[in-house]
Amino acid sequence: MHNRKLAALAATAAIVAAACGSGATNAPSTGGTVPPTAPPSEPVATAGPKIIDAIGPGEGELNLIVWPGYAESGANVPEYDWVHPFETKTGCKVKTVKEAGSSDEMVTLMRQGGGSLYDGLSASGDATVRLIKEGRIAAVDVEKLFPEWKNLWSGMQSPIHNTIDGIHYGVSHGWGANLLMWNTTVVTTAPDSWSVVFDKNSPYAGKVTAYDYAIYIADAALYLATAKPDLGITDPYELTQAQFDAAVALLKDQRKIIGKYWGTYGDNITDYENGTSVLGTTWPYQIGALKAEDPPIPVEAVLPKEGATGWADTWMMSAEAAHPNCMLMWMDWMIQPSTQQQVVEYFGEAPANLKACDLIDSKPGPYGYAGFCTDQHAADDAYAAAIKFWKTPLADCGDTRGTTCIDFSEWIKAWDEIKAAT
Amino acid sequence: MTAIDSSHAIPTSLLRRASAALYRRPRLVLGALLAPPVLWLVVIYLGSLVLLLVSSLWRLDPITTVIVREPSLRNFAELFSFDKPYLGIAAHTAAIAAIVTLVDSALAFPLAFFMARVASPRTRGILFIAITVPLWISYLVRVYSWRIILSDDGFLNWILGFVGLTGPGSLGDLPIALVFSYIWLPYMILPVYAGLERIPQSLLEASSDLGGHAWMTFRRIILPLAFPGIVAGSIFTFSLTLGDYITPTIFSGDQFIGNVVFGHVGVSGNLPFAAAYATVPVLIMAAYLLIARRLGAFEAL
Amino acid sequence: MGGRMSRIGLRVASGLTLAFLYIPIVIVVIYAFNDSKNQSWVRLIDSIGAHGFGETFSLHWFEVALNNDQVRESFFLSLQAAVGATLVALVLGSAAAFAVHRHRFFGRDAISFIVVLPIALPGIVTGMALNAAMNAGIRGFDVGPLHLTSPQFGIFTIIVGHATFCVVVVYNNVVARLRRLGYTLEEASMDLGADSWQTFRRITFPSLATAVVAGALLAFALSFDEIIVTTFTAGTEQTLPIWIFANFRLPNARPIVNVVALVMILLSVFPVYLSARLAGAESAGSIR
C-alpha cells in the first residue's frame, strides 16, 4: 500500500520532470539564466531598443502598479481626484490600481503574467534600473510624446535612474525624502537627529517603528556616515563588508526597541492611530493622513540633521503592456501642472513639473499652501543632491573600490536576521 | 451481478443499452470517473507542487535577479545553518502552533461534548449553526476585530480596567496565540463533535453497568474514542498556523514561517528560497498527516 | 453531586467557549453602525456617554458601502468564483468519491490522501505552486508547431485555485454518505429490472443529494472567504477578501469593511442553516 502510493508519486514526478525539461523551450539554454517570467525572448536589439514615439487610439482600459496616493479617485479626499478626469478625457478606464509597499514588490508584480498583467508603474530608483535591464520597460521618445516634458525641472528631465545612454524609459513624477515622525503627545521634545530611533536606552522602547524592507539598511548606513565617520561611508547603498556589518549590527540593536515594523502605509497609519508606534521613519503621505483624521492624530515630522534617504519616482510603461496607448496617455496626464499640483499636495513631495508650484501658490488645495514647493525644495539642486535616493545596491561600487560592495540579495538575507534578532 | 437478460421483452432503448454496456465495463466507468479529478489534482496540483520543490533547488542570481536553473542545495544549507535565523523562526512558529492546538482542544472539547451527547437535537442544530457561521465571516475581519479588542484603548483593556488589570496588548506571542486560537476554533470543534457523536451509547451504558463512574467512563472510554477527532481537528489548527502570514503581520514584529516565505516570494521575487523554506511546513504537515492517518483521524474528518 | 456539578460545569464551559467565539463578532456588528471613522472602543463609549446612542450610531456607512463600486464588483466577483469553484468541485469530488467507493484500483488509497492535500498544506504553499505554474503556463510552451498558453490571471485562474481545495469537502461528504448507504438498495433495484442509469437516477442520486448539497454549501463558503491562495492567483482582479485586505487598514475604508462584515454574517446564516438541516445531525460532523 505504501509502496504503491510512493510509486504513483514517483511516476508523477518523473512525468513532470520530463515535461519540465522539454517544456522550457522558451528559455534560451545558455547557462540557464532566464528571468522567472520572461516574455518570449526578444532579440537583443543591437541598434538600441525600440523607442515609442506616437500615441495611438486608447484601448479603453488601464492597469497600474503605484505607490499609495499616486492614483487617487476622490475616495479618500474628494478634492484629490485625478483618475476620474483622466477617464473622462481619454476614455481609458483605470481598472486596477495596485498599491505596492516596496520596490521589490513592484518588480515582482511586473513579472507576473508574462509582463502584460500591468500596463505600467510608478517606479522608484531602486526598481527602475533593474526593470530596464530585464527588458521589461518600453523606451519612449519623451519630446515627441509628452509636450509638457520640456517644462520639467532640469534635475528631473533625464535623471540617471530613468535615462540610460540618452534613451528615456519613462517620465519623472516627483521626489521626496523619508522623514522622522513622532507623536507629539508622547515624544514631548522634538527630535532633530536619527539617533533617537537608534538609541539603545530609548525611553520609547517598544514603541519605535521602522520601514520593513531591506533598503532601510541604507538609513542605518546614512546615520553611521555622520555618527561613525571612521567607517568612511560615502554612499549608503554601496557598502563594503565592514560598513555593511556595522549597519546590520546597529539595526540588530535597534530591533530591541522596535515594537512593530511597518510594511505598508496602512500599517504605519494604524500603528500611530492606536498608539502601537510613536516614533520612527515615514513617508510624507502618512503624516498628512494622520493629521487629517477625525480627531487628528498629533504628529510632526522633520528631516534630521544627518540627512535622509529618499525616492525619485518615474512613470514607466511595460514593454509588454496590453494597453500601451492608455498608459502613454496616463504618463502625459501625470506631468500636467494641474495633476502634479494635486499629487504632490496630497502625498507631500516635490513635483517634477515646476509649473505646478505656481498653481499651488495661487490656488492651493486642502493640503496645499503658498510656499509649499519651497518647503519641498522643489527646484533646489543642492538639496536634491544631498538626499540619498533609493537605488539598488550592487556589487559594483561604482568607484575605486571596484566590485567589493554588498549586493542587494545579501541585504534581503540580512534583513531576515535583523528582524529575528532578540 | 448477472446482467439483465435482454432476450425477454423488456424495452431496450439506447439509454438502456448504453447503461447495460457500461455496467459490463466497470473499468471504462472507472476511467471516466477518475480522469477529471486525477488530471486536476495529480497533474495540475501535484505537478505544480513538484515544480515548486524542484525550484527550491535553484537560486536567484543577485546581479541579474533572474532564476538560475542549476540545482544545488545551497538554499537548504542556508536555511538549516545555525547562525541563520530560519531554524529559530520555524521552531517559534511550530511552538505557537502547538500551543494553539492545545488551547483549541481544551476549548473545543466541552462544547463538542455538550453538542454530541447532552444537547437535544434542536439545540444541537442551533449550536451547529452557531459554530459554522463564524467560518463564513471573513477571516480578515475576525482577525482585525481582535486588533480592535486588544489595542490599548480597546475593548479588553476597557473591561479589565474595571478590575484594575490590563490586557496583553496587541503585540507579541500571547496576543498572536490568542487570535490564532480564536480563528481556528470552529475547525477543531467540528471534528471533535463528529468523533464524540460516533461513540455508541451502548458502550457508555455498558461501562456504567460494569461499575465505572462518570470520570472513569470519561477517561477510559470517551477520551480514547474521541482522540481521533481531536487529532483530525489538530491537523487544521497546526497546519493553518504554520502557513499563516497575515495574522503575524498584524500582531507581531516577530518573524513567522509564513511571513518570511511571503516576503521572499511576494516582495523579493526569490521563489527558490521561498520554496525551500516552504518545504519546512510541508514536511512537518506530511509527517503529521501520516501519523494522524495511523491514529485514525481520517475517518473522523 | 459529582454528576450535577459536572453537568453544570459542562454547560458553563460550553457557554464560555461560545462567548469566546462570538464576542469579536458582536463587536464587528456594533462597529458597523459606528458613525465615526475612529475605531477606538474607549472613544465609542465616551461618545455614547457624551452624545447618546443616536449621535454615535447610524446607518451612514451602509449607504457608503452600497454605493462603493469596488465593493460591489468584488462582491460579485467572489460570488462568480465561488459558484464556479463549487461546480467544479462537485463534479470532481463526486466523481472521485464514486470511483474510490465502487471500484478497486491501483492508487486507490492515495486518492484520499491527495484530495486532502490542498487543504492540509499551508495556503501559501498551494498559492506559490499554482502561481508559478500559472506564470509558466502564461509564458506558454511549444508543442510541435503550436505555442500553447494558458489564460491570463483572472476569474479562470481564481476558480482553478479555489476548486483545488474545495474538492475535498465534496469528496468527503459523498464518500461518507456512500459508505452509509451500502449497496443493498441498488442491488434490489437492479434485481427488479432497472438498468444502471435508472438506478442512479431513482435510487442513488436522491440518497446522495443532501450530502452533495451540504458539501456544495461548504465549498461555497470556503471559496468565498479564501484570501491566501486567491492573492497568488487573482492577478489584477479583486475578490471581496482581497478588497478587504487592501482596505481594512485604511482609515477611510475601515468603516466600510465593518459593514461588509455584518452583511456577510447576515448572508451566511441561511446557507448554514440549510446545510445543517440537509446534512442532518448525523453527517453534520463529517464536514471535511
Is the Cβ–Cβ distance between B233 and B240 less than 8 Å? no
Average pLDDT over residues C31-54: 82
Report the range of poorest mean pLDDT among B16-20, B128-132, B227-231, C255-259: B16-20
pLDDT of A14 > 80? The answer is: no
Provide the pLDDT for residue A67. Answer: 94
Helix axes of C69-102 and C240-247: crossing angle, nearest 10 degrees: 130
Whether the per-residue pLDDT at B63 is higher than 70: the answer is no
Q: What is the mean predicted confidence (pLDDT) over C252-279?
A: 79
A312 three-state secondary structure: strand
Q: Tell me which chain C residue has its CA closest to the CA of residue B30.
A: C99
CB atoms within 10 A of CB C43: 16
Give me the pLDDT at residue C129, please. 92
Pick B20's closest partner by Cβ from C124, C195, C257: C195
Quick check: C49 pLDDT over 90? no
Contact A16 B89 (CB under 8 A): no
Which of A312, A314, A345, A346 shows the shortest CA–CA distance to A327? A314
CA distances from B93 to A327, A413, B79, B90 (A): 44, 19, 15, 5
Q: Provide the pLDDT confidence category of residue A37 given band limits of 50, 70 and 90.
A: very low
Verify whether the Cβ–Cβ distance C258 to B118 is below 8 Å: no
Cα angle: A100, vertex B262, A173; to 5 degrees = 15
Contact indicator for A283, B178 with CB cutoff of 8 Å? no
CA–CA gap between residue B100 and residue B102 (Å, rounded): 5
Asked if A38's CB is within 8 angstroms of C139's CB, the reply is yes
- Residue A7's pLDDT band, with cuts at 50, 70 and 90, is very low
pLDDT at residue A246, rounded to an integer: 96
pLDDT, tens digit (0-9, with 9 covering 90-100), for C234-255: 988 999 999 988 887 787 788 8
Residues of B with Cβ-Cβ distance to A7 under 8 angstroms: none
pLDDT at residue B167 in the model: 77
Q: Look at residue B298 in the predicted model and tell me its pLDDT.
A: 66
Grid cell in block for residue A367: 493640503
Q: Is the dihedral of CA A184, A186, A188, A192 positive or negative?
A: negative
Q: Which three cell numbers mark A1? A: 500500500
- The C-alpha of B260 sits at a distance from chain C's nearest C-alpha, in angstroms, of 11
User: CA distances (Å), C32 to each of B166, C23, C254, C262, in order?
Assistant: 26, 14, 10, 7
Question: How close A260 gets to chain B, by Cα (Å)?
Answer: 4
Q: Which residues of C touch A63 (CB under 8 A)?
A: 236
Cβ pair A127, A103 in contact under 8 A = yes
Tell me if B141 and C261 make a contact (CB, 8 A cut-off).
yes
Indicate if the pLDDT at residue C134 is higher than 60: yes
Helices (H), B167-264: 173-197, 201-209, 214-217, 223-243, 246-251, 257-262
Tell me how far apart the alpha carbons of residues A327 and A118 are, in angstroms, rounded to a whole number.
10
pLDDT value, residue A32: 30
Cβ–Cβ below 8 Å for A32 and B50: no
Q: Is B65 on the interface with A (CB under 8 A)?
A: yes
CA–CA dist C272, C40 (Å, integer): 32
Of B140, B193, B262, the CB nearest to C285: B193
C130 contacts B52 by C-beta, under 8 angstroms = no
Residue C131 has pLDDT above 80, yes or no: yes
pLDDT in tens, A394-409: 888 888 888 889 988 8
A163-191 as b/e: b if 16+ CB within 10 A: bbeebbbbbbbbbbbbbbbbbeeebeeeb
What is the reported pLDDT for C46?
Answer: 83
CA B17 to CA C92: how far, in whole Å?
A: 26
Q: Which three cell numbers stand for residue B12?
A: 431496450
Per-residue model confidence as pLDDT tens digits over B140-169: 888 888 888 888 778 888 888 888 877 777
Q: Which of B25-34, B228-237, C72-81 has the highest mean pLDDT?
A: C72-81
If pLDDT is split at 50, 70 and 90, which confidence band does A62 have? very high
B251 closest CA partner among B188, B185, B181: B181
Note the Cα B142 to chain centre separation in Å: 18
CA end-to-end distance (rounded Å), chain B: 33
Distance between CA atoms of residues B252 and B256, nearest Å: 9
Within an 8 Å CB–CB cutoff, is residue A26 touching chain C?
yes
The answer to whether the Cα torsion of C34, C37, C39, C44 is positive or negative is negative
**Residue A55 or residue C211, greater confidence:** A55
Q: Return the ∠ at Cα C137 (arms to C136 and C138), rounded to 5°.
A: 90
In this prediction, residues A245-270 reach a mean pLDDT of 93
The verdict on a CB contact (< 8 Å) between A413 and B271 is no
C250: chain A residues, CB-CB within 8 Å: 76, 266, 269
pLDDT for the residue C287:
39
How many Å apart are CA A62 and CA A39, to the nearest integer? Answer: 20
Residue B67 belongs to what H/E stretch?
strand B67-68
Whole-angstrom CA distances from C72 to A130, B142, C79, C238, C239 are 37, 21, 11, 11, 10
Q: Do the Cβ atoms of C135 and A4 come within 8 Å?
A: no
Backbone dihedral angles phi then psi of residue C237, each to the nearest 5 degrees: -75, 155
Residue A8 has pLDDT above 80, yes or no: no
pLDDT per position as a tens digit, A290-299: 998 878 999 9
CB pairs under 8 A between A and B: 115
Cα–Cα distance for residue pair C96/C81, rounded to 1 Å: 22
**What's the confidence (pLDDT) of residue C280?**
58
| pLDDT the model gives residue A363 | 93
List CB contacts (< 8 A) between C139 and chain A: 26, 37-40, 114
- CB-nearest to C196 from B23, B262, B285 is B23
Chain B contact probe: residue of C8, C11, C17 with most B CBs at under 10 A? C17
Confidence at residue A275, expressed as pLDDT on a 0 to 100 scale? 86
Q: What percent of chain C has pLDDT over 90?
A: 23
Between these two residues, B168 and A222, which has the higher pLDDT value?
A222
Closest C-alpha among C217, C226, C223, C225 to residue C270: C217
State how far the Cα of A121 lies from the Cα of A173, in Å rounded to an integer: 11
Q: Quick one: how far is CA B143 from the chain centroid?
A: 17
**Do residues A385 and A312 touch, judged by C-beta distance below 8 A?**
no
Contact B34, C95 (CB under 8 A): yes
Query: Beta partners for A300?
Result: A182
* A102 vs B: CB within 8 A: yes
Give the closest residue to B246 by CA, choosing from B179, B150, B151, B153: B179
Measured between beta carbons, which residues in chain B are less than 8 angstroms from residue A33?
61, 64, 66, 68
Select from A75, A98, A274 the Cβ nearest to the Cβ of C40: A274
Q: Note the pLDDT tens digit of each residue in C207-239.
A: 888 888 888 988 888 898 889 999 999 988 999
Question: Rounded to whole angstroms, how far apart are CA atoms C191 and B227?
Answer: 42
Subunits close to C (at least 3 CB pairs below 8 A): A, B
Q: State pLDDT tens for residues A64-91.
A: 999 999 999 988 888 999 999 999 999 9
Look at residue C135 and tell me whether its pLDDT is greater than 70: yes
Contact B18 C197 (CB under 8 A): yes
CB contact under 8 A, B271 and C128: yes
**Record: contact B62-A105, CB cut-off 8 A:** no
Sign of CA dihedral B132, B134, B136, B139: negative
Does the beta-carbon distance from C140 to A116 stay under 8 Å? Answer: no
Any B CB within 8 A of A12 CB: yes
Mean pLDDT for all residues in chain B: 83
Counting as contact any 3 or more CB pairs under 8 A, the partners of B are A, C
Average pLDDT over residues A10-14: 42
- Give the pLDDT band of residue C3 (cuts 50, 70, 90): low
Q: What is the pLDDT of residue B97?
A: 93
The more confident residue out of A373 and B153 is A373
Q: Which residues of A touch C252 (CB under 8 A)?
A: 75-76
Q: Which residue has the higher pLDDT, C254 or C163?
A: C163
Question: Distance, in angstroms, between A341 CA and closest chain B CA?
Answer: 31
Please determine, for residue A418, whether its predicted confidence score (pLDDT) is greater than 90.
yes
| Angle of helix A408-420 versus helix A241-255 axis, rounded to 10 | 30
Kindly indicate the confidence band of residue C288, based on its pLDDT and cuts at 50, 70 and 90: very low
Q: How far apart are CA A421 and CA A183, in angstroms?
A: 26
Is A140's pLDDT higher than 90? yes
Identify the chains in contact with A, defined as 3+ C-beta pairs within 8 A. B, C
Q: Which amino acid is at A360?
A: I
Query: Left if phi > 0, otherwise alpha if psi is -120 to 50, otherwise beta: which for C227?
Result: alpha
Residue A224 and residue A231 in contact, taking contact as beta carbons nearer than 8 Å = yes
Q: Which residues in chain B are contacts of C240 at CB distance < 8 A? A: 138
Say how many C-beta atoms besides its own lie within 10 A of residue C194's C-beta.
19
Question: Residue B300 is inside which H or E element, if any?
Answer: helix B297-300
Interval C65-79 mean pLDDT: 91
- C40 phi-psi bin (left φ>0, alpha ψ -120 to 50, beta other): beta
All residues of chain A having their beta carbon less than 8 Å from the beta carbon of residue B264 are 412
Q: Closest Cα to residue A311, out of A151, A163, A122, A131?
A: A122
Which tens digit of pLDDT belongs to each residue from A162-203?
Answer: 999 999 999 999 999 999 999 999 999 999 999 999 999 999
Mean pLDDT of chain A, nearest integer: 86
Buried b (16+ CB within 10 A) or exposed e, B18-47: ebbeebeeeeebbeebbeebbebbbebbbb
Q: Max Cα separation, chain A?
A: 81
**Contacts with B, A 281-320, CB within 8 Å:** none
Sign of CA dihedral B177, B251, A194, A228: positive
Q: Cβ(B59)–Cβ(B273) under 8 Å?
A: yes
pLDDT tens digits, residue range B3-53? 555 555 556 788 777 777 777 777 787 888 888 888 888 888 999 999 898
Distance CA C123, CA C229 (A): 6
Among chain B residues, the shortest Cα distance to A36 is held by B67
CA distance C170 to C211: 8
Q: Which residues pair with A258 in a beta bridge?
A: A208
Q: Residue C171: in which H helix or E strand, if any?
A: helix C155-181
* pLDDT for position B264: 85
pLDDT score at A110: 92
Q: How far apart are CA B263 and CA A106, in angstroms?
A: 13
Q: What is the per-residue pLDDT for C279?
A: 60
- CB C90 within 8 Å of CB C167: no
Segment B78-91, tens digit of pLDDT: 888 888 889 889 99
Please confirm whether the linkage preceding A295 is cis (ω < 30° from 0).
yes
Q: Does the beta carbon of A216 lie under 8 angstroms from any beta carbon of chain B?
A: no
Q: What is the pLDDT of residue B5?
A: 56
**pLDDT surpassing 50 at residue C282:** no
